[in-house]
Amino acid sequence: MEIRKVIRTLGFLIALLAVWQSLAILEVYPEYIFPSPLGVLQTLARGFQNGRFVIGIASSMQRILIGFGISAILGVAFGLALGRQRWLNDTLGALVLGLQTLPSICWLPIALLWFGLSETAILFVVVMGALLAITTATEAGVKNTPPLYLRAARNLGARGWKLYALVILPAALPSILTGMKLGWSFAWRSLMAAELLYVSLGLGQLLTMGRELNDMSQVIAVMIVIIAIGLLVDRAVFAPLESRVRERWGLNS
């Protein structure tokens, strides 16, 4: 079953590349609108060799790591508070729920007005991208803490912050991880959007540059890099983490 699936997916991709390459060879469209896959590959290789892509990736990764880190810390803290305090939930909780429907790039105008054309503005958009998803997921995790764990913990003398840190937080971890995974993909999208609009080093800037130079192969090469990083982080970081936690927490059966 699995093998058939892999073959199908691979076959489709190879066919797609073949059609693309033959269209390019036939020169149906001019090169600057419709680059060949080989051309894109060359651009990719060149971009890594001369270091421009490496610098772009490094600056984007730095932003997302800082921004995502901030949202993770804030989101978990907010979620813990919202999940346990009824009055916070009725006030801030309602606000969070409303704001969640706002695409995070819509925070850019505010960010620009508050922070000017700066790194901080981009970071703000990234943080807002992931924050609400992580907050809501943490809150849900806290609210769904099995009451049995709480009773057992109280019974064994757990109180106050120890109850939060050693029982409620770990009990909510599977849900928090799901929120982080979602938050990561939101943050990555917001970052790319913000980098497109506000030009400084980064993958978004490489995209914009490709457009300005009418270099379609660069545009596509950068798109491939963006997809690859998004997928890689999801598959190599979040998926294994999530499945390990789910197994250990006994949620897989």
Partner 1 sequence: MKLEIRNVGKTFQSKSGAITAIDTATLNVRAGEFVCLLGPSGCGKSTLLNLIAGLDKPTRGEILMDGKPIGNTGTDRVMIFQSAALFPWLSVFDNVKFGLNMIGVPKPERQVIARRYLAMVHLAEFENAFVHELSGGMRQRVAIARALALDPAVLLMDEPFGALDAQTRDLLHGELQTIWQATCKTILFVTHNVREAVVLGDRVVVFSARPARIKREWTVDLPRPRQIESYAVVDLARDIMQTLKDDVLVSQRDNDAQRLSELEMQMIGDDVL
Question: For binding to partner 1 (CB under 8 A), which residues are involved?
Answer: 148-149, 151-159, 162, 166-167, 170-171, 173, 247-250
At its nearest, how many Å lie between partner 1 and the CB of residue 138?
Answer: 16
- Give the other-Cβ count within 10 Å of 16's Cβ: 11
At its nearest, how many Å lie between partner 1 and the CB of residue 57?
Answer: 35
Cα 225 to Cα 45, 46, 143, 167, distances in angstroms: 12, 13, 39, 40
Nearer to partner 1 (CB atom), residue 76 or residue 130: 76
Nearer to partner 1 (CB atom), residue 8 or residue 162: 162
- The structure tokens 């400084």 sit at 200
- The structure tokens 């999940």 sit at 83
At its nearest, how many Å lie between partner 1 and the CB of residue 88?
Answer: 25
- Give the other-Cβ count within 10 Å of 31's Cβ: 12
Nearer to partner 1 (CB atom), residue 30 or residue 250: 250
Nearer to partner 1 (CB atom), residue 154 or residue 235: 154
At its nearest, how many Å lie between partner 1 and the CB of residue 245?
Answer: 8
The whole-angstrom separation of Cα 149 and Cα 236 is 31
CA-wise closest residue to 80 among 139, 29, 30 = 139
CA-wise closest residue to 63 among 220, 247, 201, 221 = 201
At its nearest, how many Å lie between partner 1 and the CB of residue 80?
Answer: 16
Nearer to partner 1 (CB atom), residue 162 or residue 211: 162
Nearer to partner 1 (CB atom), residue 44 or residue 172: 172
80 Cβ contact partners less than 8 Å away, ≥ 6 residues apart: 138, 142, 164, 168, 169, 172
- Give the other-Cβ count within 10 Å of 182's Cβ: 16
At its nearest, how many Å lie between partner 1 and the CB of residue 160?
Answer: 10
Nearer to partner 1 (CB atom), residue 95 or residue 166: 166
At its nearest, how many Å lie between partner 1 and the CB of residue 152?
Answer: 4
